[in-house]
A and B are shown apart, each in its own frame.
Chain A
Amino acid sequence: MNRLFAARRPLGLAALAIVAWVLPYRLNVYWISVADTALLFALLAVGLGLVMGIAGQVNLAQVAFFGVGAYGVGILTTAHGFGFWLAALLAMVAAVCAGLVVGLPALRVQSHYLGIVTLGLAVAFLDWVTNAPVTGGDSGLSGIPTPPLFGVGLSSQYLYYYLELIVLAAGLAFGYFVVRTSLGRRLRAMRDDALAAGAAGAEIRVLRMIAFVLASVYGGAAGVLYAGLIHYIAPETFSIADMFLLLAMVIIGGRQSLWGCVVGAIGLTVAQQELINLAAYAQLGYGMLVVAVVVFAPTGLAGVPSRVRRWRLRRRSGISAAALGSFSGVPSSGRTGAVLEVSGLVMRFRGVIALDRVSLRAEPGEILGIVGPNGSGKTTLFNVISGLYRPSGGRVDLDGRVISGSRPWRISHHGVARTFQHLRLFGNLTVLDNVRMAMDRTRSWWSWRYVFWPVGVWRHERELSRQAGAVLDAFGLAAFAGALPHSLPYGIQRRVEIARAMASAPRLLLLDEPAAGLNGDEQRQLAEIVRAIRASGVTVVLIEHNMGLVMSLCDRVVVLDSGAVIASGVPASVAAQPAVLEAYLGTTTLPSEAS
């Protein structure tokens, strides 16, 4: 089925290219101008899809990027006599600057709050263009020249169509290049779970800014093309109503798919023309359609085929745990384990002291167990070590280097990997992509290659895929490479999370209740995996409630109670200490082995 699809895709693409190329021969002058507008909206929508659908950043200022591009060209050509293409270049720079400004709030707020802030910025832009003398105020700027290309003036709507088509095709190709490779994988991981993405080495703040810059590039390009097409710009074109129309295009088409955005944009533009006599009701119609899509098909029209396919697949065979391969050892990373030294760590949340002067040490090639009753501060300790929390006092050293207080991605790059008590896999990334994302050890600035050295990106990608394939093979997960995590049985998801953590070739692995929810067989396999990880030289720290597993697996155990270390040592001696028994059971009677 999938193979058939892969074979069909290029054919479909070729057919589409031919249709797009010969389409103008079938259109009259009116419809070609509608087509020209539709392509511009498609370009805008792809940009919005990248920032909202791929990176998960609510951006209601896309129409402002469009405006900056258009007004940039308009002002520079009409008031300052610049040539079209030079003005276009400068307008693009201005649009990128606008992208950086609009992206700034994303560093502090997310989801609907970000929506409100970006909407505010879009309104501010609209207010400015309506009132500023330089933008021509209410009556806008007219007389914007036609862009020349190789000595030919693109005054014909038909020629302009091809210019737009080429720009859109290039924009789509670049968009897909980003989405399918390292940068896009990180953006998608950030969208699915920003916290886990940070812990896996993604620089969340930089990625958010990159997302907004990407959106502004597409928005700016659409604006530049708009100015050259219409030769006139006025505030009406960049109104909030247009922003919501654009939003409707992206949501109806399918925000997580760039093709979906294009389909939504073209579909809605054409529908708008067909329903022009019903324009008063059309807004209501779009609104209801958006609500229906959000409720019944959250991934939009583009998501429908894959939903159907998945549903049929599930009905036909279903993914069974039987396909789980056996664990065949940890691929050697060439890294050695690190010494973890926690000294006097204090973590206060307002009045509550979650960690009270905790000190402990884990050596390379050792499995250190952390136990304690619920609320004793175990997960808080992991969150401080992995950088999710900044400690109130004390420090964490890794091989003698202070890591406490650093951001999660930096700690990840120092060689710390973790799993979470409640699974935090990237839900819309395949198992293979979950692993590839963590395996990618490049920094965000590495992304300049996307613009200046795409070949480098491809090579990096090939290498990642090769290594990730090896990790999946080693963990017996090869059969699930293309599956989404939530379609897998729970035990397999647990294993995927460990595989993802190990993909980053850590020197210290933090496992937060890895056995929770596993059956006896799976627990035995887990123990085998953890021992193999230790054998490869990696330091392992493990939180676990299953005392049987702790006793059999750990070299040493530290017991936390109310945020403080109350005992530590080899498992047998710790289990016998009265303070430990009291913390667990409230009395000093002997514990049973299987607690």
Chain B
Amino acid sequence: MIRRSGAAAALSAAAIAILAAACSAPGSSSGGSGGSGSGGSTGAASGPIKIAVVDAQSGSSSDLGQFEWRGVKLAVDQVNKAGGIDGRKIQLTLFDDQGDPTVGTELARKIASEGFTAMLGTAESSVTLAMAPILQAEHIPNITSGQSTKLLKLGSPYLFLNGPTGLTYDSTLAKYLVQTKGYKKFALLTNNDSYGAGEDSAFTSSLKSLGITPVAAEVVPADQTNMTPQLNTIRSRNPQVLFIGAEEAQSGLTVKQARSLGMTAVIAEGAPAGTPLFLSTAGVANADGTIVSSPYLGNGVDAASKAFAAAYTAAYGTAPELHGAKAYDGAEVMISALKACHACTGLALASAVRAVHRTGLLGTFAYDSQGVGIFSTSIGIIKNGTIEPVSS
């Protein structure tokens, strides 16, 4: 009996609450929820310019997030030291998305509610994909380190990439190998994780658009360390080029094993082949002649990268790599845009980013309507353990 009357009390209480709630909608009156304002306008003329950096600082992709945070911070520290933008400093705030899209959406709302002008990051396409619709609705421009072509399909005018799409690595590489070098017989060895599967389809379609079908395409599990059986199959087809689509260590092992089987085919690969881990696993002699496609070949290829590497090393005590360079370029693009429009916000800032035309570490940025600013990678060749750019 007690329980029943209690239930009735609970119901009536809930009904009262509903009636009370009907009087006004939640969220409409609560303070602190104001976004950065719609449309484009020049921001408040005083106080720092707030830029959010959203990158994984914990979880499996935290090292990527760490690299990118350093790259961004270096660029912003430099501009702040030089007096800021129209006398206003840039205030960076780092948010940890934990590599989790759900956390990303929550952070997108947080950034909006705390009045950030722009956002840099994230390290992973999936988190950016989750955040982009909210940032678009809140009119917050975002330069991401993501490379997925799905980012383009969102069609958000507020979303920009700080490097080429993942496809560009392979299309630039295929063009160089087929059109410049004249190779015709290609073999592919890729692993079965998401990176390897992506490389497999991207390089195959790049070759296809150039009228070439690979003579062999082998797939290995991502944790396999002995690639000899697949390499034997590939060797029997006698390819001129062996394209590898796997992470650094597995790529290095593949090269080492291919050479010990007596394969002489030219090795071609995307960004993993440009790393020290690849070199040390493959061995300097085996890696010789490997053709690498990467937007950032290394710290010593030109004056700009040397200056960047020196500043980065001075600030953090370690040498930079691709991700730091990309994030640095992205931050530089944002700074250029802010300078050009005098610290405007919203759509005006997005338009200013689109209008940026500057040469950075990765090449010359010129954004298209889809938010891509870099359309090719650089091709390098490994000689005596260092990467040298090829002149194409």
Contacts and interface: CB of A to CB of B under 8 A. Distances in A.
Interface of A: 3, 6-7, 9-11, 13-15, 17-18, 21-22, 24-30, 32-34, 37, 130-131, 136-140, 142-143, 156-158, 161, 226, 230-237, 241-242, 273, 276-277, 279-280, 282-283
A161 to B, nearest CB: 8
A21 B14 contact: yes
Contact of B58 (A10, A230, A279): A279
B194 A33 contact: no
B20 A22 contact: yes
A66 B105 CA distance: 18
A39 B174 CA distance: 49
Contacts of B9: 10-11, 14
Nearest to B12: A14
B192 A131 contact: yes
Given A10-B6, A139-B150, A156 B13 contact: no
Nearest to B125: A139
Contact of B106 (A9, A10, A37): A37
A505 B339 CA distance: 87
Which 10 interchain pairs have the tightest Cβ spacing? Answer: A10-B6, A138-B194, A24-B26, A234-B126, A279-B58, A14-B13, A30-B110, A21-B17, A14-B10, A158-B27
Interface string B137-171: 00000000000101001100000000000000000
B349 to A, nearest CB: 21
Contact of B59 (A15, A26, A241): A241
Contacts of B16: 18
A9 B59 contact: no
6 contacts: A10-B9, A14-B10, A25-B29, A33-B106, A37-B106, A234-B126
B181 interface: no
Given A10-B3, A10-B10, A33-B105, A279 B98 contact: yes
Nearest to B31: A28
A139 B126 contact: yes
A245 B29 CA distance: 34
A6 B113 contact: no
Given A6-B3, A22-B17, A230-B105, A139 B148 contact: yes
Contacts of B27: 24, 29, 32, 156-158
B13 A6 contact: no
A276 B93 CA distance: 13
A158 B26 contact: yes
Nearest to B32: A28
Contact of A237 (B95, B96, B101, B154): B101
Contacts of B59: 241, 279
A139 B193 CA distance: 13
B314 interface: no
Nearest to A18: B17
Nearest to B151: A139
**Contact count band on B:** 35 or more
Contacts of B130: 140, 142, 230-232, 234
B109 to A, nearest CB: 5
Interface of B: 2-3, 5-7, 9-10, 13-14, 16-18, 20-21, 24-27, 29-33, 57-59, 62, 95-96, 98-102, 105-106, 109-110, 112-114, 124-127, 129-130, 132-133, 148, 150, 153-154, 192-195, 197-198
Contacts of B114: 30
Most buried by B among A3, A37, A142, A232: A232
A142 B129 CA distance: 7
A231 B20 CA distance: 30
Contacts of B193: 130-131
Given A32-B27, A276-B96, 19 more contacts: A13-B6, A13-B10, A17-B10, A17-B17, A18-B13, A18-B14, A22-B21, A25-B21, A32-B26, A131-B194, A138-B126, A139-B125, A230-B130, A234-B129, A236-B99, A236-B126, A279-B59, A280-B57, A280-B58
Contacts of A37: 102, 106
B133 A231 contact: yes
B286 to A, nearest CB: 30
B151 to A, nearest CB: 8
A253 B190 CA distance: 45
Most buried by A among B6, B26, B30, B192: B26
B20 A33 contact: no
B7 A10 contact: yes
B122 to A, nearest CB: 11
A17 B113 contact: no
Nearest to B16: A18
Contacts of B30: 25-28
A282 B130 CA distance: 23
Contacts of A158: 25-27
B154 A142 contact: yes
Nearest to B195: A138
A142 B154 CA distance: 8
A15 B2 CA distance: 17
Contacts of B154: 142-143
Contacts of A142: 129-130, 132-133, 150, 153-154
Given A14-B9, A231-B133, A277-B96, A140 B101 contact: yes
Nearest to A138: B194
A305 to B, nearest CB: 18
A32 B106 CA distance: 9
Contacts of B197: 131, 137
Most buried by B among A21, A34, A157: A21
Contacts of A13: 6, 10
Contacts of A139: 125-126, 129, 148, 150
Contacts of B101: 140, 230, 232-234, 236-237
B195 to A, nearest CB: 8
A402 B40 CA distance: 85
Most buried by B among A14, A140, A233: A14
A276 to B, nearest CB: 6
Contacts of A130: 193-194
B135 to A, nearest CB: 12
A15 B10 CA distance: 8
Contacts of A277: 96
B152 to A, nearest CB: 11
A487 B248 CA distance: 62
Given A17-B13, A139-B150, A280-B58, A237 B102 contact: yes
A347 B253 CA distance: 59
Contacts of A241: 59
A226 B101 CA distance: 11
A543 B16 CA distance: 63
A173 B3 CA distance: 14
A9 B2 CA distance: 10
A33 B5 CA distance: 35
Given A234-B101, A237-B101, A9 B33 contact: no
B31 A6 contact: no
Contacts of B192: 131
Contacts of A282: 58
Most buried by B among A236, A241, A273, A279: A236
A32 B30 CA distance: 11
Contacts of B26: 24-25, 27, 32, 158, 161
Nearest to A15: B13
B102 A7 contact: no
A486 B125 CA distance: 56
A335 B13 CA distance: 50
B17 A237 contact: no
A234 B133 CA distance: 15
B100 A236 contact: yes
A580 B7 CA distance: 66
